[in-house]
Amino acid sequence: MADNVNIQESPPEVQFAGVNRWLRENLFSSTGSAILTFVSIGALIGLFRSIIGFFISPEREWTAITYNLRLYMVQAYPESDFIRVWITIGLVMGLLGLTWGFNSVNEKSSLKSTGTTLMKVFSSLFLLVLIAPTSVVIDKVEGTVVDVFQQELRIYLLAVLAGLILVSYFIRTKLASQEVSKDYLNIGYVGLLVVSIWLIKVPTVTFDSSNVRIEPDPLLPLAASTKNPWTALYLLLVVTFFIGRYLNSKNLTSFKRILPVSWLLTPLVVVTWIYRKPDFTLSQITTLDLPVILGFSAIGYLVINYLNSEKLMQYQRYFVYGSLIIAVVVFSLPVLRQLKLLFFLLWILISVAPTIANSKESARSLFIVWSVAITILILLMRGGTSETLIVVPGSSIYGGFALTWVLAFFGIAISFPFGVMLALGRTSSLPIIRIICTAIIELVRSVPFITWLFFGSVMLTFFLPAGVEFDEVVRAVVVTSIFSAAYLAENVRGGLQSISKGQFEAADAVGLSTLQRISLIVMPQALRAVIPPIVSQVISLFKDTSLVAIVGLFDLLYIGSKVIPNQSQGANFLGTIQENILFCAIFYWIFTYSFARRSMKIEKRLGLGER
């Protein structure tokens, strides 16, 4: 570009008029405000002192969390199969790196703002160390006081922090004109986290050969047993980030379509194959799955290429009805679940193929999509329907954060399309569809979530025919997603109502079909308008997953609030409820806050709220 002047619109910088004046104007403008300032500073110091005192009190057993991290993450998943957990995290990390790199816009950030951020962080830490209490009261009745914070340690920490503040001040002033890529900065921040798990040492519960706890707890790195995998995962993230950026520079548009599909497919592969460790033999795949895949690919090929020939076109209706009847008949027969599903898919293919596959190219791509889709589907079903080889003492291989994750992801992934369909159905002009959708929404919303969970867990057994059993987690996922879909439907309906009638009429005027009108005109606008309530719904679903504890599944919060505070064997963690609840709260906060930040970015990109 010739006129590369880089005119960046930035607001004029507010001149800082000196500390004295700022203080006088904002804190000490009158006698009353001066008193108020002193009182609130005193109250804040007192509050923070007691919070810090709570954290560093010898009464707190933070080892209850570090010792039970495994329980928190995967509950009873056997150690010999941990590689599967790491592969799962690795897949997510790799995808994350690819997506991050591929969508990177190479934003630059001046070192001045970085320096300011660092200065803020270190100054706050400096203040906290300065006001931290020297001793805390551990027995309120007796009034026993214990020293928790030695003066030497305080001075040492203050000196270190003061040095760091000086360094950040130097960055802020001397290197202010330097510019760095925001991506590299973020990689650096994550790298700091990884370095810290190698360097920071914390008291760790260990047992000697005769199973007696070693006192006092020896100091070991933060992630003593998992620091190697985490480092490898970090390297994977960095490598995939650069791969993603390379692919972006090559302008691979097809990759743009693959990424979202992989994000949807990865969790399915994880739950059916990786985490589950299915018990299957190679002969099952060669004698069962391969013929089915080949056979249905062949049938699909015939349908796609010959159904829209002139001779057969007139019988199209009969083919559709015929295949539906076959699908229903097959469904009621005691055959493989794969076949039941495939005949239904075939019915859908027969219904849509003549309209989609109207040219040679589109016929070819439809055939490829069909073959790949059924191959993936059959293989996923093979994994998902086989017995699992993972042996756990409980009835479910999912527990802790793994369970929370599965419930949240599949709850969101299933409830979103389902909710949109319910919303469309409720606004439909066809009375039967409208009544059914309204009934589902109102019925689901009018009963508490816990009641539905109970229904799914305990009462469903009485309604289902004998011998039909669903996994407890599957039941919980179904209940969660239906419940969430009902609320989502109402959010989306709000968005639908915000679209003016003119949009519908305009779509009709240019001759769009109903499907095109909804997918091209209505939905993009309606969903855009309701991003904030949808994100709220996602966050509340994520937190609601903790309610599955009521049906005997051990999710993150249940482990923190009930399981660990009741451990008396081995290391005794009886009554460590405050520490564990706090840990869970922080854990949930990290995830919900990330959702919120992410959605804020999306809103910004779409320019919401600026019209």
Partner 1 sequence: MNKKSIVYLLVFALVAVACATEAAEEEVTVEDEHDHESTLEQVQERGFLKCGVSGSAVAFSETQADGSVTGIDADYCYAVAAAIFGDYSKVEFTALTAAERFTALSAGEVDLLVRNTTWTQSRDTELGNDFGPTTYYDGQQLMGRNSDGLSASSTLKDIDGLRVCTNAGTTTEKNITEGARLAGAAIELVTVEAFPEAMEKFKAGECDLVTTDGSGLVGNRAKEGALNDWAIFPASPISKEPLGPVYRSNDSQWADIVNWTVYATFIADEYGVGRANVDSFDYDANPEMGRLMGKNDGELQTVMGLSADAFYNVIKQVGNYDEIYSKNLNPVGLYREGSANAPWTEGGLIYAPPAR
Residue ranges binding partner 1 (CB under 8 A): 67-68, 70-71, 74-77, 79, 139-141, 284, 287-289, 291-292, 294-296, 298-299, 301-302, 305-306, 334-336, 339, 392-395, 399, 454, 457-458, 461-462, 466-468, 549-554, 558-559, 562-563, 565-572, 574-575, 577
Beta carbons within 8 Å of 576's beta carbon, 6+ residues apart: 61, 64, 564, 565
> Which CB atom, from 497 or from 572, has the smaller least distance to partner 1?
572
The answer to whether 272 and 278 are in contact (CB under 8 A) is: yes
> Which CB atom, from 249 or from 284, has the smaller least distance to partner 1?
284
Q: How far is the CB of 558 from partner 1 (least distance, A)?
A: 8
> Which CB atom, from 266 or from 567, has the smaller least distance to partner 1?
567
Q: How far is the CB of 139 from partner 1 (least distance, A)?
A: 8
For residue 530, give both structure tokens.
């309701």
What is Dmax (Cα atoms) for the chain? 96
Q: How far is the CB of 551 from partner 1 (least distance, A)?
A: 7
Q: How far is the CB of 525 from partner 1 (least distance, A)?
A: 44
> Which CB atom, from 16 or from 462, has the smaller least distance to partner 1?
462
> Which CB atom, from 441 or from 564, has the smaller least distance to partner 1?
564
For residue 572, give both structure tokens.
């005794």
Q: How far is the CB of 115 from partner 1 (least distance, A)?
A: 43
Compute the distance between CA of residue 475 and CA of residue 449 in angstroms, rounded to an integer. Answer: 13
> Which CB atom, from 114 or from 396, has the smaller least distance to partner 1?
396
Q: How far is the CB of 198 from partner 1 (least distance, A)?
A: 23
Pairing of strands 135-139, 144-147: antiparallel
The answer to whether 90 and 150 are in contact (CB under 8 A) is: no
Q: How far is the CB of 303 from partner 1 (least distance, A)?
A: 11
E strand or H helix at 202, and its extent? strand 201-203
> Which CB atom, from 68 or from 88, has the smaller least distance to partner 1?
68
| 3-class secondary structure per residue, 69-121 | HHHHHHCCCCHHHHHHHHHHHHHHHHHHHHHHHHCCCCCEEEHHHHHHHHHHH
Give, in order, the Cα–Cα distances in Å from 533 to each of 133, 493, 593, 596.
Answer: 42, 12, 15, 11
> Which CB atom, from 63 or from 168, has the smaller least distance to partner 1?
63
Q: How far is the CB of 371 from partner 1 (least distance, A)?
A: 13
Compute the distance between CA of residue 131 and CA of residue 146 in angstroms, rounded to an integer. Answer: 17
Chain CA centroid to CA 526, Å: 24
> Which CB atom, from 61 or from 183, has the smaller least distance to partner 1?
61
> Which CB atom, from 181 or from 572, has the smaller least distance to partner 1?
572
**Other residues' Cβ atoms within 10 Å of the Cβ of residue 187:** 18
Q: How far is the CB of 9 from partner 1 (least distance, A)?
A: 55
> Which CB atom, from 122 or from 367, has the smaller least distance to partner 1?
367
- Per the DSSP assignment, residues forming a β-bridge with 73 are none
Q: How far is the CB of 317 from partner 1 (least distance, A)?
A: 21
Compute the distance between CA of residue 255 and CA of residue 252 in angstroms, rounded to an integer. Answer: 6
Compute the distance between CA of residue 335 and CA of residue 346 in angstroms, rounded to an integer. Answer: 16
Q: How far is the CB of 386 from partner 1 (least distance, A)?
A: 10
Give, in order, the Cα–Cα distances in Å from 587 to each of 3, 285, 543.
Answer: 49, 41, 11
Q: How far is the CB of 280 from partner 1 (least distance, A)?
A: 11
> Which CB atom, from 298 or from 369, has the smaller least distance to partner 1?
298
E strand or H helix at 218, and its extent? none
Q: Mind giving me the DSSP string for 504-522?
A: HHHHHHTT--HHHIIIIII
Compute the distance between CA of residue 604 and CA of residue 532 in angstroms, rounded to an integer. Answer: 12
Q: Return phi, psi of residue 467, to 5°.
A: 95, -20
CA angle 382, 387, 392 (to 5 degrees): 135
Compute the distance between CA of residue 326 and CA of residue 323 in angstroms, rounded to an integer. Answer: 5
